[in-house]
Homo-oligomer: A and B are copies of this chain.
Amino acid sequence: MGLRDRVAIVGAGCTRFGENFGQSYTDMLVEACHEAFAEAGIGPKDVQAAWLGTAFPDVGVYKGRSGMDLAEPLGLFDIPITRVSNYCATGADALRNACLALLSGEHRVVLAAGVEKLRDRAPVESIVKLMVETGHPFLQKGLTAAGTFAMYAVRHFETYGLTREDLALVSVKNHRHAVNNPKAHHRREVTVEQVLKAPMVSYPLGLLDCCPTTDGAAAVVLVRTEDARRLNPDHVLIKGLGFAVSTGWDLPFFDARHDFLGFRAAQVAARHAYEDTGVRDPLREIDLAEVHDCFSIVELLTYEDLGFCKPGQAKELLREGRTALGGDLPVNVSGGLLSCGHPVGATGLRMIHELTRQLQDRAGARQVPNARLGLAHNIGGPGAVSSVTILGRA
């Protein structure tokens, strides 16, 4: 059936991403949701159902285990609120479930919010410690996220002649973009030399190839398209959405056939989103993309997973500047995860906020001229969970 043009975003909100020591988990949620409410011209009492995305409720704040943590600060009384969690696609999955609920006919105005408070404890005390202590199958053996994605980088070096300089170009591009994003965690340019000389985290990924640990929240108010104009004439439409959980091929640790060159879940999610939207040639038709550059290598292999180029050609797209602001298909004009950071539950909705502002021509110095179609992509877990959402001007 497809979501094409059936759901509209009438309000979007996003906190600054960073070390938000001055804001609690709840403060950030309130800020993001009220920015979205204000744009939609609604109040909390108008919200008929909500979805809260939080992936790591246990990192020091004990918030986000249930919908209750969204209800209380916003005064969303007596409505259903679901907490969803799906690794790095958590925020995107809150959005997806909210869309399905609208289309069910049960609700007319719904909220999707995502948030994470990761900086109140030192990283060594937070996610990794939690995962190790509670029995994470890979982390317990010392295989961190950086270590996992590093294997993909080495495989690309070997197979396609990618180099550390190529990875560095991703970081340089996204940090340059972030200078124009007041919501980004890090807003300073870096040079190829700085990236190459940064402390090594897991070869070949150095510190500037890895996204920082960050606090933040983002939210959107959604309605069915027939209700959108009344609430916000400057709304944005959901053109297509794909979401796939894929194991076997994508749990390399359990499947000897995995090639370490891309993620099947992302390929499947993209195919569904393109079918919904009617996109056949994404490089030509998509005007900008926010992709999940948790590590520099992931942006490059995502160009291929999303069909922006053929396998092995991502480095050419990057080297030729075609994915920089001003190129054919600017990627991560927000600065991406590498500069914005990655508060897990918030990231997918931060991307949706960015695309919304771009499609409204409200993105200031980082505006992509004449942006009409924008794509958001997440990949989570050991590459097993992926979301691709395409937004368009109404």
A193 neighbours in B (Cβ, 8 Å):
none
Q: CB distance B106 to A87 under 8 Å?
A: no
**Assuming the A-B contacts A104-B103, A134-B60, A384-B71, are A66 and B79 also in contact, with contact meaning beta carbons closer than 8 angstroms in the complex?**
no
- How many copies of this kind of chain does the complex include? 2
Q: CB distance A68 to B80 under 8 Å?
A: no
Quick check: which of A93-101, A184-192, A228-236, A289-297 contacts chain B, the rest being far away?
A: A93-101
What total of chain A residues lie within 8 Å of the partner, measured CB to CB?
A: 63
Q: B-facing mask of A245-268, CB < 8 A → 1, else 0?
A: 111110100100000000011001
Q: CB distance A78 to B134 under 8 Å?
A: no
Give the shortest distance, in Å, between A74 (CB) and chain B (any CB): 10
Q: Please list 25 pairs of residues, one from A and one from B, whose beta carbons are closer than 8 Å in the complex, sorted by A's number.
A: A1-B104, A1-B105, A3-B106, A57-B134, A61-B135, A65-B85, A65-B87, A66-B385, A68-B245, A68-B247, A71-B246, A71-B384, A75-B248, A76-B245, A77-B247, A77-B248, A78-B246, A79-B244, A80-B244, A81-B86, A82-B96, A83-B84, A84-B84, A100-B106, A103-B105
A84 neighbours in B (Cβ, 8 Å):
82-85
| A136 at the binding interface (Cβ < 8 Å) | yes
User: Which residue on B lies nearest to A384, using beta carbons?
Assistant: B68
Give the shortest distance, in Å, between A169 (CB) and chain B (any CB): 31
Taken together as a complex, chains A and B put the C-alpha atoms of A97 and B156 apart, in Å, by 39
Q: CB distance A131 to B100 under 8 Å?
A: no
| A380 at the binding interface (Cβ < 8 Å) | yes
Q: B-facing mask of A130-161, CB < 8 A → 1, else 0?
A: 11001111000000000000000000000000
